[in-house]
Amino acid sequence: MEPIDLSIAQKMVDRYAATRKKLIDKEHNINDTQSIWIPLDKLKSFINNLPEQATGVRIHFAAYDHKNEHSPNQTTAILIGTVENHPKHTDAIEDGVGTLSSEDPMGPFNNGRACPPLCP
């Protein structure tokens, strides 16, 4: 990860809203998620509890189904720890192996605050 200029970040966010979000909104007749807020204590806990063999965190884009109570059909993100698997860093979702349980410190984790619909 490298810092980027705020004006570049704003242009990237605007481009997402004008392209992908616009298509999702139209196709699914929703006002789709534009950002996800994660409480700092939860994020720190996730990172601090990753096992020694973890090499990073992958963020998978995902979508809730139409039955989700708070965010039906909305885009979300799932965080999951990665491990080195030469020549790349893999995770259990990507490989289809490993533990996929909220008790596993590698994740997957979800349930940040999606905005919209749950904007502060």
Domains in the chain: how many in total? 1
Q: Is the pLDDT score of 55 beyond 70?
A: yes
> What whole-number distance in Å separates Cα of residue 41 and Cα of residue 72?
26
Answer yes or no: is 14 within a domain.
Answer: no
Average pLDDT taken over every residue of the chain = 85
Q: pTM for the full model?
A: 0.79
**Residue 62 is part of which domain span?**
33-115
DSSP summary character for residue 32: -
Token pair of 106 as six digits: 């590698």
pLDDT in tens, 104-114: 677 678 878 88
pLDDT at residue 33 is higher than 90: yes
Of the given ranges (24-28, 57-61, 69-73, 108-112), which has the lowest mean pLDDT?
108-112
Q: Given the structure tokens 């533990």, which residue do they identify? A: 99
pLDDT at 97: 55
- Domain assignment present for residue 1? The answer is no
Q: Is residue 28 in some structural domain?
A: no
